[in-house]
Structure 1
Amino acid sequence: MSSWCRSAFGAVRGVEPLVVLEQLGTSLFDTALLMVVKDRYADATHPGTGTRACGEDEQQKAMSDFYMVNNLIAQLTPIVPALLLAKAGDRGWRRVPVVVPLCGYLLSSVALLQVVLFGLPIQVMFGAAVFLGISGGFCAYWPGVMTLASLGSNTENRSQVRQASSEPDESSPLLLHSSNSVPAETSSRKSTVNMVLLFSAAILYGSSVGGAVEILAVFVIKEPLQWNAAQVGYGNAAGFVVFLTSFLGAVAFRRCVSDVVLILIGMLSFASGIYFMSFVTASYMFYLARALSLFGLIPLPTIRSLLSQQVPSSLYGITLTALQLALRLPALAYIPAFTKLYQRTLDWFPGFVFTLSSIMAVMGMIPISVMGCRWSRHRRSQETEATTETRHADKDN
């Protein structure tokens, strides 16, 4: 009983319960914000236009413009604060990059509550997004979570985390282990190429997911779905179920495939699901599209896992934050691009942006496939070298 209590206490102290609670809060906040934005822009019509279809199009444009500005603020303001928090984390304050952004997120939620209770302008949420960014936002929060997870796991189980290990030292091996006959420069160069490939895949896939999710929030409000608050809540809940299915998928697939193949499975899952979303005309079709994307959250955490294996533990925080910033900078391009493209295709194919997102997800599979080929070739060469050394040793004996 005492050992069970210690295990339970250790689990509660871990980062996992915090992530679960944060995701629950995010689901409630996103649903509330969407409903408030919808109500505030319900009468956003051009003077002289009285038809409902035209009014709905104008509402969609106003809502998508709001989310475009809000998301740009949320993506870009955390850059400098996230770097500072990452440095603090690498100097020993590991929980600071997690706690500070959560405080900012709490105040952002309070701001939304004030908008609802006192009828403040919806533009107040732009200020809340700025404050969230100053606190580091999710740009600092997720690297902080991944750093804690990396330090609490060994290399082999890092992509699923449940086995604890002591913190790796500064000389921990890289993903592609070098033999004694391989110069350090060669190993370092291979690690650099791997990091470039991982960054490229993450940027392409992150832009694909970010652009699609931004539009998905307003897409479900318009015809033919026209969801109410309860339906939006169910839709968000279905989206967060993907966290669970992605984790279970990672645990199951790791028994028979490598992390590279695991990433490709997740990317293909999201690409197929978001492509199907392009043609959704009823609620049951929406949930079918979500079901196709049930492994869609595997790629980015696994990419972070592989990336953390390329550097010593003292650089975990700054490296993972650099990746998070690399995922944020393309937002300058893809958020306005997806928003304006959605507005211009409302009349003939509103789901076109989801098709574009699917194409980008497939493109993200290319650098990961290249890395997988490089990895396999390197492992084969290592096995050949090991076999040759064994034969030589046998002959000497």
Structure 2
Amino acid sequence: MTTWSWCQSAFGVVHRVEPLVVLEQLGTSLFDTALLMVVKDRCANATEDDQQRTMSDFYMVYNLIVQLMPIVPALLLAKVGDRGWRRVPIVVPLCGYLVSTVALLHVVLLRLPIQVMFAAAVLLGTSGGFCAYWPGVMTLVSLGSKAESRSKVRQVSSEQEESSPLLPHSDNGPPEMLTRKNTVNVILLFSAAILYGSSVGGAIEILGIFVIKEPLHWNVNQVGYGNAAGFVIFLTSFLGALAFRRYVSDVTLILIGMISFATGIYFMSLVTTSYMFYLSRSLTLFALIPLPTIRSLLSQQVSTPLCGITLTVLQLVLRFAALAYIPAFTKLYQRTLGWFPGFVFTVSSILAVLGMFPISVIAWRWSQPISSEETTETRHEDVED
């Protein structure tokens, strides 16, 4: 009986998506470290500045392929997921990711040209890539939980709902007004996600090659430790969200994360030693809170049948934004190598601060109840119709 209970518990754990996400993140950490060192090895004979330019050009092309190739496959997988096959947008991209890692293994063992990884990126994108994977994970978790478990929304008593207009669904008013208000909220959430996603994506794209040049000049072990420190942020952001959400709203959670990243990445521009790097990373402990929380709020603003496609559209919008920020950050880094290599991190910090404005507007809008004049006007229109 005990063995049967243990087997049931083990099956329940394996059946959940959380262990899969942990394993995927571990694999990503190892893959990113290996790819970075292989790229560095292939241009080891160049001068440091030329090496940095060659590596940044490689990652610019590679990241653009990874960002843009999944657009159509991700939409198709999202539609399949919304028809009831919720695990398909998760499993298919992971299969493509497996092919990509095998390709890197062949590049190392067989000394194939590094450009083979461009083909691997195409295969990863054809499978939907992370553009399909993360919305699939978020949708599966969101639909498998109660609304009050996904965010601070509806975690109040009925008396508080009657007296407080701070929540998006607690407003008193006709459905037309609430729909219009939710649409504006969706636009603001998309704007915040684009600004913050561009800030994080642009900085992380450069951070890997930044640490292997002077003055840090990291080796493979130090790069591995640095990547591990980066992935610890997944854990600290998760724990931070659990702790803070008991006392603050979702909007405040997002702002905490944005402030955390903006502060840490600004100090990254001044880093000259390893301990300063880790100190800067420690300031970004809650940097991963904003985007998942934004997705959570989006799931509150749309109906359940549109949840999967809405989250996928957000991911696609972030991919199109990559068309701008990946080349921009790459060229900016190359042009500032000689006088201020960390300038790109300062720009990233500014973008993160700009992302706080749409979130602040949402907080203000949710604090404003629908006016009686708007309600009366809408009711008059309904009567005339």
TM-score when scaled to structure 2?
A: 0.90
Give the one of 35, 54, 64 matched to 1:33.
35
Matches within 5 A, 1:147-162: 147-159=139-151
Give the one of 100, 103, 127 matched to 2:92.
100
Secondary structure of 2:147's aligned partner: coil
For residue 16 of structure 1, what is the aligned residue in structure 2? 18
Matches within 5 A, 1:326-345: 326-345=317-336
AA in 1 matched with 2:66: A
The answer to whether the Cα contact below 8 Å between 1:64 and 1:218 also exists between their aligned partners in 2 is: yes
Structure 2 residues not aligned, in runs of 5+:
153-166, 376-385
State the Cα deviation string for residues 235-266 of structure 1 (Å, max 9, x = none).
Answer: 00000000000000000000110000000000
Matches within 5 A, 1:1-397: 6-44=8-46, 55-159=47-151, 176-177=168-169, 182-378=173-369
Q: CA RMSD in A?
A: 1.8
Residues in 2 aligned to 1:159 and 1:234: alpha-carbon distance in whole angstroms: 33
Residues in 1 aligned to 2:297 and 2:10: alpha-carbon distance in whole angstroms: 29
The answer to whether the Cα contact below 8 Å between 1:159 and 1:250 also exists between their aligned partners in 2 is: no
Structure 1 residues not aligned, in runs of 5+:
45-54, 161-174, 386-397
**How far apart are 1:317 and its partner, in Å?**
1.1
Q: Which moved further from structure 2: 7-16 or 367-376?
A: 7-16
The answer to whether the Cα contact below 8 Å between 1:81 and 1:135 also exists between their aligned partners in 2 is: yes
Going from structure 1 to structure 2, the CA distance change for 1:245 and 1:228 (only over 3 Å counts) comes to same
Residues in 2 aligned to 1:37 and 1:307: alpha-carbon distance in whole angstroms: 38
Secondary structure of 2:149's aligned partner: coil
Residues in 2 aligned to 1:29 and 1:257: alpha-carbon distance in whole angstroms: 37
Residues in 2 aligned to 1:154 and 1:92: alpha-carbon distance in whole angstroms: 18
Residues in 1 aligned to 2:104 and 2:10: alpha-carbon distance in whole angstroms: 35
Residues in 1 aligned to 2:128 and 2:14: alpha-carbon distance in whole angstroms: 24
Going from structure 1 to structure 2, the CA distance change for 1:5 and 1:118 (only over 3 Å counts) comes to closer
State the Cα deviation string for residues 322-376 of structure 1 (Å, max 9, x = none).
Answer: 0000111011111011000000100100000000000000000000000011112
The answer to whether the Cα contact below 8 Å between 1:159 and 1:301 also exists between their aligned partners in 2 is: no
**How far apart are 1:12 and its partner, in Å?**
2.6
Compare relative contact order (CA 8 Å, sep 6+) and give the higher one, 1 or 2.
2
For residue 155 of structure 2, what is the aligned residue in structure 1? none
Residues in 2 aligned to 1:373 and 1:10: alpha-carbon distance in whole angstroms: 42
AA in 2 matched with 1:123: Q
**How far apart are 1:7 and its partner, in Å?**
4.8
Going from structure 1 to structure 2, the CA distance change for 1:195 and 1:265 (only over 3 Å counts) comes to same
Secondary structure of 2:367's aligned partner: helix
**How far apart are 1:6 and its partner, in Å?**
4.4
Residues in 2 aligned to 1:281 and 1:177: alpha-carbon distance in whole angstroms: 49
Residues in 1 aligned to 2:183 and 2:6: alpha-carbon distance in whole angstroms: 43
Secondary structure of 1:264's aligned partner: helix
AA in 2 matched with 1:145: V
**How far apart are 1:178 and its partner, in Å?**
5.7
Secondary structure of 2:301's aligned partner: coil
AA in 2 matched with 1:333: A
State the Cα deviation string for residues 143-199 of structure 1 (Å, max 9, x = none).
Answer: 000001101111122149xxxxxxxxxxxxxx62266x6222111100100000000
> What is the percentage of aligned positions where both structures have the same residue?
78
Q: Which runs of 4+ in 1 moved over 3 A?
A: 1-9
**How far apart are 1:4 and its partner, in Å?**
7.2
Residues in 1 aligned to 2:174 and 2:7: alpha-carbon distance in whole angstroms: 49
Secondary structure of 1:377's aligned partner: coil
Secondary structure of 1:119's aligned partner: coil
For residue 382 of structure 2, what is the aligned residue in structure 1? none
**How far apart are 1:212 and its partner, in Å?**
0.2
**How far apart are 1:3 and its partner, in Å?**
6.7
State the Cα deviation string for residues 8-59 of structure 1 (Å, max 9, x = none).
Answer: 5323311100000000000000000000000001123xxxxxxxxxx10000
State the Cα deviation string for residues 198-217 of structure 1 (Å, max 9, x = none).
Answer: 00000000000000000001
Residues in 2 aligned to 1:108 and 1:291: alpha-carbon distance in whole angstroms: 31
Q: How many residues are paired up?
A: 357
